[in-house]
Amino acid sequence: MLKEKILNKEKNLLLYALTPPKAEFEEAKLREIADRWTARIESVNADGLVLYEVQDESDRSDSQRTFEFSGTLSPQSYYANYLKVATPSVFYRVAGGYDENEFRAALAAQSADLCVLVGATSSAQKTRLDLTRAYEIAGEFKNLASGGVCIAERHGKKGDEPQRMLEKIRLGAKFFVSQAIFDADLARKFLEDCAAAEISEPIFLTFSTAGNPKTLEFIKWLGVSVPQSVESRLNASADYLAQSCEIIKEIWSELKSFGDKNGLNLSANVESVMAKRAEIEASLELARGFRLL
């Protein structure tokens, strides 16, 4: 099972990530979406499925959000009541959206034995539960393995991401999932410092397909660094989506090689941030291809 692989610090695992559908959809549409995703997930044969719990991240940037925020089904509800997959799941939990009792109840009810605890998107965001306390509560559940988020862009600005990770490890984090990566140099510098800090816990590097400039703009709005050289290469390509996948494969190959040489425990997490068929299908094909890299 995925939890055992993570706790045993296995390398080169593959996760596929998606966001549950909008909670406002009618039941018939939710079932239709879930059935489609069940077939897709099974086709990837990933080691695990990541289900995001979304939050309104307007505080992260002064610029206008590219797409309007809309609430979604909870990971627990979507996985247990709609998807029909045997793939082990990792649930994201936005700590600030709960009070202590709600958070404890959510963890007690969840059907997955892995979760990623997410803190505030900015210091200005109002939260009901801080991340430290969330880790303490998660530690009450002995069958649960908790992970954390790591962000190369934050390290680029503050230079302390490995120290943040070490603190999360002290609190109980067993693995990490990164923000999406399009900047190889920034990610490599972050990983260099993780190696220097002797972080041996598994780090899942996230990669997201981009089918057009609007999707890339949304990815950038989410805080992902996209070098001008990458953007220019995408804009000059006759097939924007295929080029984004080629860039991702190059970045993953480079970072994987670096990790192997420097004693890091790296795996991959593939996603599509947009609910567009072409981008979803490209992300699925990308994930299948990662098995061969």
Q: To the nearest 10°, the Cα dihedral for 274, 17, 231, 247?
A: -130
Residue 20 per-residue DSSP state:
P
Backbone angles phi, psi at 85, to 5 degrees: -125, 150
3-state helix, strand, coil in the chain (%, to 5): 50, 15, 35
**68 pLDDT more than 90:** no
**67 pLDDT more than 60:** no
Buried b (16+ CB within 10 A) or exposed e, 141-159: eeebbbbbbbbbbbbbeee
Instruction: Measure Cα distances from 281 to 76, 87, 209 in Å.
Output: 24, 19, 10
Percentage above 70 pLDDT, the chain:
91
- What's the chain's average pLDDT? 92
Q: What is the pLDDT of residue 58?
A: 53
Rounded to whole angstroms, how far apart are CA atoms 83 and 39? 9
Residues 6+ apart with CB under 8 A from 238: none
Q: What is the biggest distance separating any 2 CA atoms in the chain, rounded to whole angstroms? A: 53
Q: Would you say how long the chain is, in residues?
A: 293
**Mean of pLDDT values over 115-137:** 83
pTM higher than 0.95, yes or no?
no
Query: Confidence band (pLDDT; 50, 70, 90) for 253?
Result: very high
pLDDT in tens, 2-27: 999 999 999 999 999 999 999 999 99
Within 13 A of 23's CA, how many CA atoms are on the CB side? 11
Residues 6+ apart with CB under 8 A from 131: 95, 117, 118, 119, 120
Within 13 A of 157's CA, how many CA atoms are on the CB side? 6
Q: Give the end-to-end CA distance of the chain in Å, rounded to a whole number.
A: 22
pLDDT in tens, 140-166: 999 999 999 999 999 999 999 999 999
Backbone angles phi, psi at 194, to 5 degrees: -65, -40
pLDDT in tens, 259-274: 999 999 999 999 999 9
**215 pLDDT more than 60:** yes
Q: Which domains does the chain have, with CATH numbers?
A: 2-290 (3.20.20.220)
